C-alpha cells in the first residue's frame, strides 16, 4: 500500500471513529462524554483562560461548557459541524456569559459604592429584623451556594479557602458568591419595599 493510500485509509478510520463517538455522545453514552472531555477539555480550558484571565473562572467556564454540551447534545448535528467546532461555539457562549456576569457585578459594586459612604458601612447598626431576613434569605439558597455564602460571610474565609475546604473549583465558588449576592440584594430590596 502506498503512503498516500495509507494516509487516506488512516483519515477514513479517524472519520469513522469521530462519527461513532458523536453518535454515542448524542445518544447519552457517558463514556463518550468522558472521552470527549479528556480530548477537548485542555483546548476549552486554554481558550477560556485566554479570554477570562482567571484560572478559577476558566475552570468554571470549562465545566459549564461541557455541562451545556451534555444537556443539549441532541441539538448537535454532525452534518453541520465537527464535534470540536460545536464545543468551541458553546465555550464562546460560556465565556461571554462569564464576562457579562463580571460586568454586572462591577456595575453593582459601583452602584453600591455610589450610595454608601464609608461612615455608613462602619457606623450603621443592623437591626434584628434585617439580620433575621438575611439569615432567612441565605437559608433559601440552593445547598452549595448556601455553604459557600456561610463560609464567606460567617466564617470570613477567602474564596481560595472555601474552594479548598469544599473541594470545589475556585471559579465555581466565585460564581456562587456572585449569584447569591445578586439574589440576596434583590430579595432584600423587595423586603424593604414591602415593609
What grid cell was written down for 94?
460560556
12 phi and psi angles, rounded to 5 deg: -70, -30
pTM over 0.85, yes/no: no
* Mean pLDDT, residues 78-89 taken together: 92
Residue 88 CB coordination number (10 Å): 16
pLDDT for position 131? 64
Query: pLDDT-based confidence at 130, cuts 50/70/90?
Result: low
Mean pLDDT confidence for 120-132: 55
Q: Give the residue from 25, 16, 158, 172 showing the smallest Cα distance to 87.
A: 25
Give yes or no for residue 87 having a pLDDT over 90. Answer: yes
**Predicted confidence (pLDDT) at residue 162 exceeds the cutoff of 70:** yes
- Quickly state the pLDDT bin for 178 (edges 50, 70, 90): confident
> Which of 21-30, 95-104, 123-132, 158-167 is modeled with the greatest confidence?
21-30
What is the arithmetic mean of pLDDT over 23-33?
94
Average pLDDT over residues 129-140: 70
Residue 176's pLDDT is what? 85
3-state secondary structure 136-152: HHHHCCCHHHHHHHHHH
- Among residues 53, 179, 168, the alpha carbon closest in space to that of 105 is found at 179
Tell me: pLDDT of 123 over 50: no
8 Å CB contact between 188 and 137:
yes
DSSP 45-88: HHHHHHHH--HHHHHHHHHHHHHHHHHTGGG--TTTS-HHHHHH
Q: Residue range 1-26: average pLDDT?
A: 74
Per the prediction, the chain carries an average pLDDT of 81
Q: Grid coordinates representing 129?
A: 429584623
Model confidence at 191, pLDDT cuts 50, 70, 90, reads low
Amino acid at each position: 500500500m502506498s503512503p498516500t493510500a495509507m494516509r487516506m485509509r488512516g483519515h477514513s478510520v479517524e472519520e469513522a471513529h469521530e462519527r461513532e463517538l458523536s453518535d454515542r455522545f448524542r445518544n447519552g453514552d457517558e463514556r463518550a462524554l468522558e472521552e470527549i472531555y479528556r480530548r477537548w477539555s485542555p483546548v476549552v480550558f486554554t481558550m477560556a483562560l485566554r479570554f477570562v484571565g482567571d484560572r478559577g473562572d476558566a475552570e468554571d467556564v470549562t465545566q459549564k461548557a461541557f455541562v451545556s454540551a451534555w444537556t443539549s447534545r441532541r441539538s448537535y448535528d454532525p452534518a453541520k459541524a465537527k464535534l470540536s467546532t460545536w464545543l468551541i461555539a458553546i465555550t464562546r457562549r460560556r465565556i461571554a456569559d462569564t464576562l457579562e456576569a463580571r460586568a454586572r457585578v462591577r456595575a453593582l459594586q459601583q452602584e453600591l459604592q455610589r450610595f454608601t459612604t464609608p461612615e455608613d458601612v462602619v457606623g450603621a447598626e443592623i437591626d434584628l429584623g434585617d439580620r433575621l431576613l438575611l439569615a432567612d434569605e441565605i437559608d433559601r439558597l440552593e445547598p452549595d451556594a448556601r455553604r459557600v455564602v456561610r463560609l464567606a460571610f460567617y466564617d470570613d474565609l477567602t474564596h481560595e479557602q472555601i474552594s479548598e475546604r469544599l473541594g470545589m473549583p475556585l471559579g465555581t465558588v466565585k460564581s456562587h458568591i456572585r449569584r447569591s449576592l445578586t439574589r440576596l440584594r434583590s430579595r432584600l430590596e423587595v423586603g424593604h419595599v414591602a415593609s
